[in-house]
Structure 1
């Protein structure tokens, strides 16, 4: 699609001539549409969790607590069982359960749309060969980066997503603090969750996981999760840019 340059006035031309304008990447229409789908899906999911927490709080006021951990599956059945003998409480809670069921149903519709897009996209399928990277991580990364050619080096992606240490330098002070947290919040949290799952839930050995466990022994677990998230973002860019897949036995895949 052809993009036209905006009309600049005299002041804008002077600023542009002095190099005070920086290049800004405009995402493709497809990336913006997919990102909107992800945002809408997350909104429905968040509202569903809010309703569940409100129901728990309502029952707690009346001295009713869930025994043990209640997963999302039997949640409604367990609530109906607990309020069976309290008709007034049931009259207040049942509308909340109906709203929750509607949110779950529509969230499932958007989730299926997202999965269908991932199945049809070759890049997403290749990104999902990387350990810890699932459908949501892959498609979120795809819509955030949009074009891998934007970055000359894969390691620059970590800084773009705000996963690199923040530099504090003034006078005699020169130290690194926490990560900069610049860039896309959704994209930064997605590889963090993927890193956490890779380190704590994955049962299959990989070069990235072995590297992360070695770092955890020296630097602690919290820093390791961020470091692995940054490495995942770098490896994802390399896989995307090279048009290849991740090789689990490859030691080169864990290189900085």
Structure 2
């Protein structure tokens, strides 16, 4: 049975699997080219297209994450949403206060009158006080979610193993854990870089053969997390390691921006190898810098 990846695909997949049915979740990007040729698109024709793809084998299987990984991922998404909204509210209040300060110093009577009206409107009990109180509430909620996430990381053995890698913290470890979900999905560790969209795109046709930027396939949150870890490793880390030494050597040849992406891909590969082997990272090991 073939299911198109979507919002309810995981629920349907798990339910069919529990009932002993052979169900798979397929990539909808392969179906898009087929459904575009249909003059009439409806659910019946979509089901016929999925059956045709399964019959000829023209599909890619999408991994459905476990319920535990999805719950942790939901916690991370909620934390990131609250953190983003908190920053937006703080920036909005900071901009408002800066405008009022400039208006107070202005000699324009219209601006001064407007600033006075704004100050009166933001008096205790008014609308301004309620807006100012919002960041404290979002900060508290974000701190609660952050503590819940840290408690999960402390209890998880895999996260503690991943955090032995330089530049990998709690956020990077738990995000990687929920994204990969099962290290046995990849036959080779280097395939993780392509899965996360950290490998360059290639166009070869006739006499044209060129490489461009990274493909940016896969999970956006997971791709940005090792990028931030790579940036912190290269700029803020004070302890020498094989990955950092390799990255600094690449920076001398290719530039800093490409080096950050290359080190991010290296971190993703090393994290998969550490997880698959069940070992910890050895800081002085030369194998850590191998491709």
Structure 1, residues 132-174: CA drift from partner, whole Å, max 9, x if none? 0000000000000000000000000000000000112222211
Contact (CA 8 Å) 2:73, 2:178: kept in 1 or not?
Answer: yes
Q: 1:171 to 1:31 in 2, by over 3 A?
A: same
- Offset, 1:24: 1.7
Contact (CA 8 Å) 2:75, 2:149: kept in 1 or not?
Answer: yes
- Offset, 1:131: 0.1
Which residue in 1 is equivalent to 2:273? Answer: 238
- Offset, 1:214: 0.3
Match among 190, 199, 208 for residue 225 of structure 2: 190
- Offset, 1:52: 1.1
Unmatched segments (≥5 aa) in structure 2: 1-33, 45-55, 98-135
Normalising by the residue count of structure 2, what TM-score does the alignment of the two structures yield? 0.68
- Offset, 1:22: 2.2
Greater RCO structure (CA 8 Å; 6+ sep):
1
Match among 65, 72, 80 for residue 42 of structure 1: 80
Structure 1, residues 23-82: CA drift from partner, whole Å, max 9, x if none? 2211000000000000000000000000111012112xxxxxxxxxxxxxxxxxxxxxxx
Q: 1:10 to 1:55 in 2, by over 3 A?
A: closer
Q: 1:108 to 1:22 in 2, by over 3 A?
A: same
Structure 1, residues 167-210: CA drift from partner, whole Å, max 9, x if none? 12222211110000000000000000000000000000000000
Q: Which of the pair has more CA radius of gyration? A: 2
Q: 1:126 to 1:10 in 2, by over 3 A?
A: same
Contact (CA 8 Å) 2:197, 2:218: kept in 1 or not?
Answer: yes
Unmatched segments (≥5 aa) in structure 1: 12-17, 60-100
- Offset, 1:8: 19
Q: 1:23 to 1:7 in 2, by over 3 A?
A: farther
- Offset, 1:9: 15
How many residue pairs end up in the alignment? 209
What is the CA–CA distance in structure 2 between the aligned matches of 1:201 and 1:189, rounded to whole Å? 17
Structure 1, residues 195-231: CA drift from partner, whole Å, max 9, x if none? 0000000000000000000000000000000000000
